[in-house]
Structure 1
């Protein structure tokens, strides 16, 4: 994955949405004090003057004290170092393994918080803050409260605007504020992503040594130590080398060369991974990973995707051209072995190396898209033979055929619709329980591939339902988001904290509690709007292709009545995820040009299952109609709340952000429905349908007019919410959304004039 930190930083600062800005706004974004609320019997109010203290020699204690003090000041509590009324954080070591558990002992004039790790200290202050936010007053319950989470590890992506790519993890691009924002959402771990050649220095194969090794290791160590002050650990998603067959290391040591990787843009080039059976290759993996955790023992662990990308082996993406039918790889050394044996041995070697340096580090195997090579579709044999040293990580939803209204939908990737748990995960859990192996569950907290052009889909009931299913799997940890948007600090992410720390609450309780806390007398209206958005999310008929089309581009996606000879440069992007098939550190993918426009329909037969004879696109369009309808109903509810006026004391910005986001989802769904309906009509015209070419063109004209109106109504949304601009999110790899929208409107106006003249309908409206 390529990266341009300077570009994203400058644009974020210009938009006033840098990581620091988002952090200052979001760390306590729902805090406001109701001065009419005072302590009742069995409660202690922090009135008069208090002192927050702790052992400043403990790494992270200073930051924790400053954070809680800031919160209390927002709650209008007077603070002084001389006060005898104290809130004290105490780090007590009892010889047990570090946990996030803590104890709060509260009595008049004294609140003592005890934990065995700095992570527990941060967990306790987040708990106190959330309890006070719920009460809308600086009040705590008297007596002793002991809390521990359902799972100890909650992993997420970096906050919006902060970098997650190795090796550029300096404070300029991954600030301390980023870690502070994570911990306030109950997230105590963060993913890093990138090539492990950045951290390679060895004697056996000096051709692989990285020139900036010392700097890269120092930057990683600094980031891990800074994160640790906030109780956050870094988990490395390691990407293995993919090298040209002529690379010096293969020329000198041909035994290292593994399978040829399929899909490279340059067909004349032959790119290979390292052989996953070669003893020299395995020794290299050992040396690199053991050294990494010796140099940076603060790392939380490794996340090794062994299915279709990242931690390469000879069965992952082999070029099978010319191999015998049924072959799983073109590597002559691995070809005679069972894939599960090869992959699990690679995992075992890696985990043993890591644990020699850092016994507590987690090494997780993630079979994302392992159906490409596994002996069974659910990877049950891989789980059965998983080494004891390795933990299992898998998704709550992926690879399920979900039953819908008259059809089945393939959940081929993360979904905003299907909440799980997938059948394959349930079968794997049974095996893991018999083996007494740890399970980590991957989910998407706030979005799905149906709608990942936004920070979160405001469908709180559906999001809470998915979190409930995650909790029901009884995981040791949760990976709650991949690196699509950036952790936003939304209620969608906060639900994860309540699910983890308050197991007595169910999904409906949590949704209602958040609505009442944030919107007071408008809670019922918000719950109703979220319910409509939840129904809307459930009506996406398929998960669309990556990073293109109306679902991703949103209202800026063009609707082209006429074929154009020019390329339309406003809609050209660099599809960085295709780097997966390119040589390590290659720049070629950045030079390629890819249109993000859907100009024709695609085959839905692999995405949906319908009864024979049913038109796939007619079913899909019916579902998009319903999705847009329910989102539109939610928008009306938000408008009614806005007209009634937000309750005094509730930040208007909080409500307005939710309102703008929901309208943007609605506008996107209208564009999506219009685009696919329009393309469907074009196909019917091309097929020479007997219904009448002119009547079909009239329908296309009506759709184009409606879409022009929809596009114009979307313009103010981009102006009010600059974080919706795709160019901000993807570091300049994607074009500017407002620029695309402007061009779309211009093209639509030109095309409408042309078609109206052709049909003799100037000024007339055709019925759809």
Structure 2
């Protein structure tokens, strides 16, 4: 990913007559850029466009004008592309609109069947304003390794990697921070390592800006306080309800508590210019404010002398209200996304969750998991799932109710989804099911989403799913799913786009059969079944958690991953997945010779083959343990060999 992405033209029609209503490019383009760019932020995009023109081998400085201009096209990142007999004109209001337009024009060129473009008049603008992913290389600041990317000298954001992400429509990347490791306040001194962290953070911000990508901080703040924490001992009003860990939740219902939060974010955003904003888990994952003392499904009281006297939503309002004021005071362009991480696999939430959605501080964007509490019928029975599903389109009932509360009060809503892959199978770069993403984005638009967080620590590898998400963010979604898939495939697969689109359709149909079960995600064989040992004799060895790297291979306790499915049901669904996925693979295998010189497409084919093996292995594992069970239940004579 540090190397330039290999791009291949699919110009099968080069010397023939130009079709009617097309602009002939054979004489060569003459690029003229008349766009203000004092900081040079567009240099990377314009240079990339010049590289593509070199690839086309069209004459340089030809007679066909290609003009990049400034024009009031409406919202930020919007652009206007005109192709007619007079040439190509691309205009935008701001640098990021022109950048998105340049990438769109590049895809028109690589997707064409020859050196000609159809006459067109495109006005495009994003309905998803923030499209946030995470660096694929970035270390994870949590057990077992606890590595802080701001304390090492590794460059996790090489140019060509960022160039890929920018082409795929991503305009934000998040990384993890802790307030007390960066900020100096009237309550806390600056950490001895803070300046080192801040300096690298500044470099990261500026590097990503060159590709139109903002850096977002991710946190779970305010952090709960140990009973012997000096911050709590010196400021007892910071201590609120007891958390499930025995620590004290942070109470934001005092002036001093809100002042601490204000000063923390104000200092960080003052120290690091041009940050995109802060994504903060306000409820869930770990204890933060007094609101964290009750789960998402609970209506019980908050046992805090201050917070017990106010509505639960007001606790959230106090904390996020202080944060957004501090952020805006330091950087008026920065934003705050408050994330309610509520992954419980039940359809409903406490009434306070929906009240909270109707009472947001001005400027605070509320984020909710799009699929948490998922419910769908599989094999004639209702199944429930928790967070992070790509195979389930959504939204869940709880997301719909949160969305209703936000949009009915003119708030802004962000969907937390997984674009590339999810806990279902996270050992591949991505699962090529853009049709499911099309359906998911249709539902997101219908429910009023204007922002999206595209991944957690996984599901962020560059590729077809990222690109699909980027295209959908600028689409009115009025085209058919099939038309979208063909349009998505054409720049990379040329004349074979319809075949690839059909393969993707089959992959989506197959993936929709994934058993809707949290334990299937977290312990099942879809991730690494090819290396599971098979135990004919009963060992009752546990299954390994799929999200942790420091466990031995899975054992034979297959029931640990079944949860709300029987073994027979899991076997049946896995069989459906395997067979339908293999149908798609057959279509793609026939294309290997046609793309033998295209490394990127061969890698895509390899990922699809690997997934086919993993789904087949999962089916075989379920079948093996079903047969083992039948063998043990058989008459004694049939199992004497055991």
Q: Which moved more, 1:241-250 or 1:137-146?
A: 137-146
| Alignment correspondent of 1:103 | 80
Q: Is 1:307–1:372's contact at 8 Å kept on the other side of the alignment?
A: no
1:123 deviates by 0.7
| Alignment correspondent of 2:145 | none
1:242 deviates by 4.7
1:180 is the counterpart of 2:163: yes
1:452 is the counterpart of 2:433: no
| Alignment correspondent of 2:101 | 124
1:621 is the counterpart of 2:603: no
Given the superposition, is the C-alpha separation of residues 362 and 562 from structure 1 closer, same or farther in structure 2, using an over 3 Å criterion?
A: same
1:601 is the counterpart of 2:528: no
- Equivalent residue pairs, number: 626
| 2-structure distance, mates of 1:333, 1:57 | 51
Given the superposition, is the C-alpha separation of residues 137 and 638 from structure 1 closer, same or farther in structure 2, using an over 3 Å criterion?
A: closer
Picking from 383, 386, 389, the partner of 1:415 is 389
Given the superposition, is the C-alpha separation of residues 638 and 494 from structure 1 closer, same or farther in structure 2, using an over 3 Å criterion?
A: same
Post-superposition CA distance 1:633-665 (Å, at most 9, x none)? 3333334444xx427xx8543443333222322
Post-superposition CA distance 1:427-450 (Å, at most 9, x none)? 333333321112222222232321
Picking from 582, 590, 608, the partner of 1:662 is 608
| Alignment correspondent of 1:247 | 229
| Alignment correspondent of 1:345 | 318
Corresponding residue SS for 1:302: strand
Corresponding residue SS for 1:551: coil
Q: Is 1:537–1:627's contact at 8 Å kept on the other side of the alignment?
A: yes
1:619 deviates by 1.8
Given the superposition, is the C-alpha separation of residues 31 and 156 from structure 1 closer, same or farther in structure 2, using an over 3 Å criterion?
A: farther
Picking from 189, 194, 198, the partner of 2:177 is 194
User: Where in structure 2 are there 5+ consecutive unaligned residues?
Assistant: 141-147
Given the superposition, is the C-alpha separation of residues 575 and 166 from structure 1 closer, same or farther in structure 2, using an over 3 Å criterion?
A: same
| 2-structure distance, mates of 1:335, 1:544 | 34
Post-superposition CA distance 1:513-536 (Å, at most 9, x none)? 334554455445434433332222
| Alignment correspondent of 1:79 | 60
| 1-structure distance, mates of 2:205, 2:161 | 12
| 1-structure distance, mates of 2:375, 2:56 | 49
1:25 is the counterpart of 2:5: yes
TM-score normalised by structure 1 residue count:
0.72
| Alignment correspondent of 2:41 | 60
Corresponding residue SS for 1:379: helix
| Alignment correspondent of 2:583 | 633
User: Where in structure 1 are there 5+ consecutive unaligned residues?
Assistant: 1-18, 264-269, 320-324, 577-592, 609-614, 698-757, 760-768
Given the superposition, is the C-alpha separation of residues 193 and 311 from structure 1 closer, same or farther in structure 2, using an over 3 Å criterion?
A: farther
Alignment RMSD (CA, Å) = 3.7
1:550 deviates by 1.7
Q: Is 1:355–1:361's contact at 8 Å kept on the other side of the alignment?
A: yes
Post-superposition CA distance 1:90-141 (Å, at most 9, x none)? 456x6x9960112345566764433222211211101111111221445445
Q: Is 1:260–1:318's contact at 8 Å kept on the other side of the alignment?
A: no
Given the superposition, is the C-alpha separation of residues 527 and 378 from structure 1 closer, same or farther in structure 2, using an over 3 Å criterion?
A: farther
1:551 is the counterpart of 2:526: yes
Q: Is 2:253–2:307's contact at 8 Å kept on the other side of the alignment?
A: yes
Corresponding residue SS for 2:604: helix
Runs of 4 or more above 6 Å deviation? 370-375, 563-568, 571-574
Corresponding residue SS for 1:218: helix
1:301 is the counterpart of 2:301: no
Given the superposition, is the C-alpha separation of residues 215 and 517 from structure 1 closer, same or farther in structure 2, using an over 3 Å criterion?
A: closer
1:179 deviates by 2.5
Post-superposition CA distance 1:714-762 (Å, at most 9, x none)? xxxxxxxxxxxxxxxxxxxxxxxxxxxxxxxxxxxxxxxxxxxx45xxx
Corresponding residue SS for 2:338: strand
1:363 is the counterpart of 2:336: yes
Corresponding residue SS for 1:633: helix
Q: Is 1:171–1:223's contact at 8 Å kept on the other side of the alignment?
A: no
Q: Which moved more, 1:51-60 or 1:528-537?
A: 51-60
Q: Is 1:364–1:392's contact at 8 Å kept on the other side of the alignment?
A: yes
| 1-structure distance, mates of 2:598, 2:637 | 50
